[in-house]
Structure 1
Amino acid sequence: MEIFNSVFTWFMKKRIHQIELFMKYPNEVQEEWFEQLICGAENTEWGKKYGYKSILTLHDFKERVPIQTYDTLKPYIERMLKGEQNVLWPSEIRWFAKSSGTTSDRSKFIPVSEEALEECHFKGGKDLLTIYFNNQPNSRMFTGKILTLGGSFQVSELNADTSFGDLSAVLMKNLPLWAELHRTPDMDIALLEDFEEKIEKMAHATIGVNVTSLSGVPTWNILLFKRILEITGKKTCWKYGPTLKCISMAR
């Protein structure tokens, strides 16, 4: 673990220069990504509909592509949920992040491509760690396990090759190997659908684990910590000004 922590710290610091360039040239970075996205989607059904091949500038895009809402995209997404490909994006779409519900619909289903996972979610996490390790060079975060508490997912009834669920569950199911090796608890517990069962099993599974970092919805993590304190009978303490206060969660 110590070796991994050292190697990972070095690797993360190597990216700080690129992050600094992004901050220095934000407009150029945005223009480059705009071109990549337009070129990437030009042969999809959506790209052909709006002539992406001949879009050269942001002005072209704004003039040609109307502002969209989820309702206008919903028919396309429903087809993708059934397994149809190359509709909005060229790479295979097998995962959908499901929202908890809105005023316009019970839930929204957001297509999650491999590029979205790698270039947005995972790279965003790496950049966060890069900035953290740059500011805290002596951190020992990766000398232990990462405790992750997320949601759940299920296979779509419309297509056996398509799954949807909480974004946290989608990310966990697609984690790179290095991240999965340093995560706790086991995936069969972390992705349980019944929340109370999940909290109970996670509490028992992680009591004896050396956890050095946390990931997940903060309010969910608090419930997990309370349950761990109840099981162990230990106290939790915090400092408020010069005063140290402790409470026991023992039954």
Structure 2
Amino acid sequence: MGFKSLAGKFYAGIVQKQIEYQRKNAVSLQQKIFLYIVGEAATTKFGTDHGFSDIQTYEDFKKRVPIRDYEELRPYIDRVISGEENVLWPGTPAYLAKTSGTTSGVKYIPISKQSMPEHITAARNALLNYAYETGNTSALDGKMIFLQGSPELYELNGIPTGRLSGIVAHHVPGYLQSNRMPSYTTNCIDDWEEKVEAIVGETIKEDMRLISGIPPWCQMYFDRLSARAGGKKIKDIFPNFKLFVYGGVNYEPYRARIEESIGFKIDTIETYPASEGFIAYQDSQKDNSLLLMVDAGIFYEFVPAEEIFNENPTRLQLKEVELNRNYALILNTNAGLWGYNIGDTVKFVSKNPYKIVVTGRIKQFISAFGEHVIVEEVEQALMEVARKEGIDIVEFTVAPQITPADGGLPYHEWLIEFGHAPYDLKGFALKVDQALQEKNIYYKDLIKGNILQPLIVKSLKKNSFVDYMRIMGKLGGQNKVPRIANDRKIADQLTRYITN
């Protein structure tokens, strides 16, 4: 055991006490953050426009600050981008995180000098919490890699700007810099396939122990490693590789294929970072739910998902939430986001401590006929059947087919790239359809009432989604294919890859 591993064990014990305090005092810590951020922003443009100096309670806050998405908050954000000071938060941002939205095009999310450390602290705590639970700190003695966007930043009216992963790369603690890969030069390569090949070349002979990234792009890395090593499993290339850290998408559809590539069931940590703040991380290997970050500069609000588009939706603070109910997540942050609808939905599975699962995106659903099928239901239905049938799923997306060419009843079209395809595709589709009916009563009623016909699965050629993302200029990094949509913008592009 090396020095870093020994030091990690000691430090993990200290951090664990902090985490336990946060678990036990979540509500009071949220109240403390609420009063702090409202007080700090009282004299900003946003604060004066919304009467922050008169806010004493959460009820006061709700009366003055409406829920907004990026477009609705944009007039203030545009003033921040122009270089104006004291708009949403005192001073100017330390950074602008550039991200792509499905409805707003390019978005610029402010990161303040107060919010930036929270991203680093949360990531550190996720790793040290794992070390404390398992006793495994060996990753600190070897190499680790974070598959991410370019760390190159540019200035926008004097504010350093770039992808969140690139910004975070400049704040990796010094004691991890010697462990970290790839090289800065390789990390700056724009073309994702060229970048992955360069990363493979740099890492294939190294003692890699921790690998992190969005699952589909990590899978690409594993595939290229295996090809370069003559078909070896990752465990034979990196015998000390013991921890996979991921975020951005639900891991379950990728789990079987990734574990097959690695060669064993590896320990994993799911994280929930966003440009707007680091929201949660998995705090136990026995439980896949995520511990909500209650002391990380974010005051959370929760709106019942079915009310999010109402004119006056119900708004709840942490102490008011119920278990197993779908909520739209609303953020108020120490970077100046107020009543901000991040677009995600979450469900609480525990209130002691407060733990969540991410159930989908507000705008990712199918409700062409009132069925309101959500991502969580689609993923669960598919994976239940795939596991039972031993079917390997590489990637998929679902869209409505309202006007079938044959004039028949409309249906949900599932475009799936299989690793190991089912022998009976129609039979597989019927089983998935039955599983989906069991999860969504509205969908079931439409099937039974002959408004919809059962879903139809179309099998796609190998690398279809990679090719699609390449064409769209979104290959790699933090980009991902939406699992479900209420239109056919993505589906119509993918139909070119359907196998006969």
Could you say what secondary structure the match of 1:110 adopts? strand
Alignment check: 8 A CA contact 1:151 1:165 kept: no
Separation of aligned partners in 2, 1:142 and 1:40: 38
Which position in structure 1 is the counterpart of 2:147?
A: 149
- TM-score relative to the length of structure 2: 0.44
Partner of 2:236: none
Instruction: Choose which of 185, 192, 200 in structure 1 pairs with 2:197.
Output: 200
Deviation at 1:192, TM superposition (A): 2.3
Deviations 1:128-181 (A, max 9, x none): 12320111114312111211110135525x52x334333212211332323333
Shift of 1:91: 4.5
* AA of the residue aligned to 2:224: R
| Deviation by residue 1:191-216 (Cα, 9 ceiling, x = unmatched) | 32221221111111112221110121
Q: What's the counterpart of residue 49 of structure 1?
A: 49
Looking at structure 2, the residues matched to 187 and 213 of structure 1 have their Cα atoms a distance apart, in angstroms, of: 18
SS of 2:135's equivalent in the other structure is: coil
1:114 is aligned to 113
Distance 2:186 2:43 in 1: 41
Listed as ranges, the gaps of 5+ residues in structure 1 are 241-251
The alignment-based identity, stated in percent, is 32
Matched, 1:69 2:69: yes
Tell which structure's C-alpha radius of gyration is larger.
2
| Distance in 2 of aligned mates of 1:176 and 1:42 | 33
Which one-letter code corresponds to 1:134 in the other structure? Y
Counterpart Cα distance in 1 of 2:22 and 2:196: 40
Q: Deviations over 1:102-150 (max 9, x none)?
A: 13x212221122222212x112112212320111114312111211110
Q: Bigger relative contact order, structure 1 or 2, given CA contacts below 8 A and separation 6+? A: 1
TM-superposed deviation, 1:239: 5.3
SS of 1:56's partner is: coil
Q: 1:178 to 1:39 in 2, by over 3 A?
A: farther
* Structure 2: distance between partners of 1:189 and 1:162: 25
Q: 2:138 aligns with which of 126, 137, 140?
A: 140
SS in 2 for 1:67: coil
Aligned to 1:249: none
Deviation at 1:225, TM superposition (A): 1.9
SS of the counterpart of 1:222?
helix
The secondary structure found in structure 1 opposite 2:115 is helix
Q: Output the CA distance in 2 between the equivalents of 1:94 and 1:116.
A: 9
Would you tell me which structure has more helix in proportion to its own residues?
1
Task: Write the mapping of 1:156-235 to structure 2, written as runs, cut at 5 A.
Answer: 156=155, 158-159=156-157, 161-235=158-232
Q: Runs of at least 4 residues of structure 1 off by over 6 A?
A: none
Change (3 A) 1:100 1:55: same
Aligned length: 236
Structure 2 Cα separation of the partners of residues 179 and 18 of structure 1: 22
Give the direction of change, closer, same or farther, for the CA distance of 1:138–1:149 in structure 2 (3 Å limit). closer
- When you count strand as a share of all residues, which structure comes out higher? 2
d(CA) in 1 for partners of 2:263, 2:173: 35
SS at match of 2:195: helix
Query: How do residues 91-110 of structure 1 correspond to structure 2 at under 5 angstroms?
Result: 91-103=91-103, 105-110=104-109
The alpha carbon displacement at 1:59 in A equals 1.3
Change in CA separation of 1:203 and 1:91 when aligned onto 2, cut-off 3 Å = farther
Q: 1:191 to 1:112 in 2, by over 3 A?
A: farther
**Letter matched to residue 108 of structure 1:** K
Against the structure 1 CA distance between its residues 197 and 143, is the aligned structure 2 distance closer, same or farther, given a 3 Å change threshold?
A: same
CA distance in 1, matches of 2:53, 2:78: 25
Q: Which residue number in structure 1 is paired with residue 10 of structure 2?
A: 10
> Per the alignment, do residues 208 and 92 of structure 1 end up closer, same or farther by CA in structure 2, a change over 3 Å counting?
farther
**Residue 485 of structure 2: aligned partner:** none
Contact 2:130 2:136 in 1 (8 A): no
**SS of equivalent to 1:33:** helix
Distance 2:40 2:175 in 1: 29
Equivalent position amino acid for 2:106 in 1? S
Kept in 1: contact 2:145–2:208 (CA 8 A): yes
Question: Match of 1:169, as an amino acid?
Answer: G
Per-residue deviation, residues 12-46 of structure 1 (Å, max 9, x unmatched): 22121221122112110110111121122222221
Q: Secondary structure at the match of 1:111?
A: strand
Secondary structure in 2 aligned to 1:63? helix
Counterpart amino acid of residue 178 in structure 1? Y
Give the superposition deviation at 1:62. Answer: 1.1
